[in-house]
Amino acid sequence: MVLFGLACWSAHSLLTGKAVSQSNDLESFDLIELLSVLAKGAKTGALRIYRGQQIFTLWLSSGRVRRMDGAGFDTGAAVLAQLLEDPSGRFHFEADEVVPFPNLDQSHDAFAYAALKRMPPPPLKFDGPGRLESPERFAELTLDLYEQEVLRGVAEGKPLSELAAARDPRAAPLLGRLTRLRLIGERRTRVARLVVQVQRQAGGRQGSSAAIDETIFRRWREAVGGHIEYIQVREERSGKVYQMPVSAAADAGTSLQLSPELLIRTGLRAGDAVLVRPVTALTGAEPNSS
């Protein structure tokens, strides 16, 4: 059997089976990430953690968790929770070691999620809209109807901070665990660099709504997974930031079209270069400057 060092490692090293000889100190590496890389590489073998005289062993078969033993009588997710609460020790992975008496058959996500449920919930990694990873990664997680409803809110593009603030106390821990496992990633939208232009014929909320090109608007909606009502505008010249309602306009191109009323209220001028991004909710006065 081949011994793999896993420190100062890269995903390429683990997935190609190349040995890494540097120090393998668990304090320097995320155990969940190590497990994820091995699982995604469909590895078979034993990941061992040495802490003094204690030895913890996690066996994988084709990337699936088949057994985990602790230093005492603990087994399974309880052992992983102990290691996550006190990430110390050294480790290596011995490839192709066959699991003795397998008692689990879980994805690495489901196994790590069970361990995180035994611990204080981790904080949210970000507050804005999130992106759900592939349905296959969620397939083995046991989620009740309310938790599934929270995930629907994520899919609709609602900010995680808004969902976590729900009255039901299960929402925030759920979102914290799923962001910790990277089952929910952050939705990132491109900032558009536009030039202010006077809006001659504003439709809809005339006088109070900015207009941007419908192509940019559509791409932003696809990125955030929901409806966009407001934009944040940063003036390059002064750095001032404004928030205002927005609508789509045909053939606006690289311009941000503002009505004379908005130009007066913000102090922006035709020809000003601005950085524009969508926001899911207005956080101040309309338009708000800071």
121: in domain? no
- 142 and 232 in a single domain? The answer is no
| Rounded CA separation 253/236 (Å) | 19
Helix 108-116 to helix 31-40 angle, to the nearest 10 degrees?
160
User: Is 56 or 282 the better-scoring residue by pLDDT?
Assistant: 56
Together in a domain, 11 and 111: yes
- Predicted pLDDT of residue 66: 97
Mean pLDDT of the chain: 85
Q: What is the mean pLDDT of residues 209-215?
A: 90
Q: Is residue 212 located within the same domain as residue 168?
A: no
Domain that holds residue 53: 3-116
Residue ending a domain, among 138, 162, 186, is: 186
Domain final residue, candidates 116, 139, 173:
116
In a domain, residue 125? The reply is no
Contact 39, 62 (CB under 8 A): no
Do residues 278 and 240 both lie within one domain?
A: yes
Domain presence at residue 214: yes
Q: Are residues 35 and 136 in the same domain?
A: no
Domain annotation covers residue 223: yes
| Residue 288's pLDDT band (cuts 50, 70, 90) | low
CATH code of 206's domain: 2.40.40.20
- The closest of 225, 279, 221 to 248, measured between CA atoms, is 221
Better-scored residue on pLDDT, 207 or 268 = 268
Q: Which amino acid is at 171?
A: A
In a domain, 122, yes or no: no
Q: What is the pLDDT of residue 63?
A: 95
277 burial via Cβ count (<10 Å: 0-12, 13-18, 19+): middle
Residue 83 — pLDDT band, cuts 50, 70, 90?
A: very high
Q: Do 79 and 16 share a structural domain?
A: yes
Q: Kindly state whether residue 52 falls inside one of the protein's structural domains.
A: yes
The answer to whether residue 142 scores a pLDDT higher than 60 is yes
Q: Is residue 100 part of a domain?
A: yes
Shared-domain flag, residues 109 and 27: yes
**Residue 228 confidence class, pLDDT cut points 50, 70, 90:** confident
pLDDT of amino acid 209: 83
Q: Do both 110 and 25 map to the same domain? A: yes
Residue 164 scores a pLDDT above 90: yes
| Total count of domains within the chain | 3
What pLDDT is recorded for position 225?
A: 67
pLDDT, residue 175, reads 97
pLDDT of residue 16: 44
Same domain, 71 and 150: no
Give a yes or no: residue 165 inside a domain. Answer: yes
pLDDT at 188 over 80: no
Q: Are 182 and 204 part of one and the same domain? A: no
Whether 250 and 207 share a structural domain: yes
How large a percentage of the chain has pLDDT more than 70?
85
Residues 272 and 209 reside in one and the same domain? yes
Q: What is the pLDDT of residue 141?
A: 94
CA 220 – CA 151 distance, rounded (Å): 20
If one compares 158 and 85, the residue with the highest pLDDT of the two is 85
Which of 59, 88, 116 delimits the end of a domain?
Answer: 116
Tens of pLDDT along 116-130?
Answer: 999 999 999 998 888
- pLDDT tens readout for residues 2-57: 444 444 444 445 444 444 334 488 878 899 999 999 999 999 999 999 998 899 99
